[in-house]
Structure 1
Amino acid sequence: MITLENFKKYKEFIVVEAPTPLRTFSSAMHNPGYGEYTFFVNRTVGIDYFPEDANEEMRQFLNERNFPLEQTIAMMTAVDMEFAFIDCYEEGETSIVIMVTAGLGNAVDVTKAHQYAYQPKVGTINTFIFINGNLSDEALIQALCCAVEVKTKIIHERGILDHKSGTIATGTSTDSVCVASTQTGEFHQYAGSITKMGTLIGRGLYETMNKAVDSYLAFKKGNQ
């Protein structure tokens, strides 16, 4: 199982080391897509972070800390890891552990982004969902879709704007999501919005991400 004990916090990153490889579907910066991975890294970088090749720089970062590249999922954000929120949720025989960091300085309305030239800015919502359950490939993808729906719902409720278009944002331009399953325990063929798995993700991520957004907005207000 994945529990809070699997999370190790360091100054500039948090890592989850799974006891066995997890079935994973993600949009992570390092090793995106579908696969089986053991290490999951959420990393803080500075607001002035603009290397020539961010992917290569990330590989160097992981190498220097002895993370095996072929076994590691990694994301990055300008949000300090002290503002990472990690919560556990249970529903019957299935449990999930969620980690979120939320930076909103780069909020974008995807339906309006074609109207203006994009300029890179810092701001990312990173979401990790670890599932103690057995998911079909279909359910794994549906779980990721549920996570994106929750994110967009929260941004809409909070009135977060795309500063270019002035419309409600749908996310940031660099958001990353990772869903990882232990493939043990209760089986879930589906994980859509009205399934047991989908509603567990909906409830849990809504609570955890709102905490992360609260901390981001409070921090920005205190530094104005």
Structure 2
Amino acid sequence: MITLNSIKYYGEYIAIEAEKPLRTISTAIHNAGYGYYQYFINRTVDPTYNPSDAHEEMKQFLQSKGFPLDKTVAMMTAVDMKFAFSRFYHDGDTSILLLVTAGLNNAVDVTNAYNDSSDPSIGTINIFILINGRLTDEALIQAMCCAVEAKTKVLSEKQILDKTTGTIATGTSTDSICIASTQNGEFHQYGGSITKVGSLIGKGLYETLSEAVDEYIAFKKGTS
């Protein structure tokens, strides 16, 4: 079972370490897409980070820390891991673990992105949602959709703006999301907004990301 105790803090990165591989879908820089993975990494990089090949650099980093490349999903962000927020939610026999970091320098309104030709800057929202339950591929995809909806709701309520267009941002141009399930326990054919899994994600991510955004805004104000 995945719990808060599954999270390991290593300073510049955080790892969620499962006892066995989880069924996963993600947009992570390392091992995006579908697969079975056991280690989930959120890593802080310097704001000046600009390697010639970020994928290769990430592989070298993971190997240096002892994580098997074929069993690991990894994301990166300029946000310090001390600003990572983790929460655990449950409803009956189903539960979810969330790990979130929020950087907003690169906030973008996707409905107006075609008007912006600038290069992306460092700043991203990284979201890990690990589910104790058995999910179909359909449910995993629907769960990811719920996560995106919750993220957009938070940015709207917090009035996070796209600096180029002045409109409400829907995310950042480098956001990453990972949804993974243990494939043990309660079965979920669907993961949409009115299902047990979808509603848990909606509530949990809304609360957790709201805290992360508030902390980020407070920190930026304190350094300005």
The TM-score range, normalised by the shorter chain, is: over 0.9
In 1, Cα distance between equivalents of 2:13 and 2:95: 24
| Aligned AA (1:43) | R
- TM-score, structure 1 normalization: 0.99
Task: Give the match for residue 43 of structure 1.
Answer: 43
Question: How far did residue 66 of structure 1 move?
Answer: 1.2
Task: Give the match for residue 18 of structure 1.
Answer: 18
| Aligned AA (2:16) | V
Secondary structure at the residue paired with 1:211?
helix
In 1, Cα distance between equivalents of 2:63 and 2:196: 39
Task: Give the match for residue 221 of structure 2.
Answer: 221
1:160 counterpart = 2:160: yes
| Aligned AA (1:16) | I
Deviations 1:58-91 (A, max 9, x none): 0110011111001100000000000000000010
Deviations 1:17-59 (A, max 9, x none): 1101000001011000000001100000011101111111101
In 2, Cα distance between equivalents of 1:120 and 1:207: 27
Question: How far did residue 127 of structure 1 move?
Answer: 0.2
How do 1:6-155 residues align onto structure 2 when only pairs under 5 Å count? Answer: 6-155=6-155
In 1, Cα distance between equivalents of 2:194 and 2:94: 16
Question: How far did residue 110 of structure 1 move?
Answer: 0.8
| Aligned AA (2:120) | P
After TM superposition, the runs of 4+ consecutive aligned structure 1 residues lying more than 4 A away are none
Identity %: 64
Question: How far did residue 119 of structure 1 move?
Answer: 1.5
Task: Give the match for residue 181 of structure 1.
Answer: 181
In 1, Cα distance between equivalents of 2:27 and 2:197: 20
In 2, Cα distance between equivalents of 1:63 and 1:196: 37
Question: How far did residue 116 of structure 1 move?
Answer: 2.1
- TM-score, structure 2 normalization: 0.99
Secondary structure at the residue paired with 1:161?
coil
Q: Structure 1 regions of 5+ residues with no counterpart? A: none
Secondary structure at the residue paired with 2:193?
coil
Deviations 1:87-131 (A, max 9, x none): 000101101010000000100011111112122211100000010
- Equivalent pairs counted in the alignment come to 224
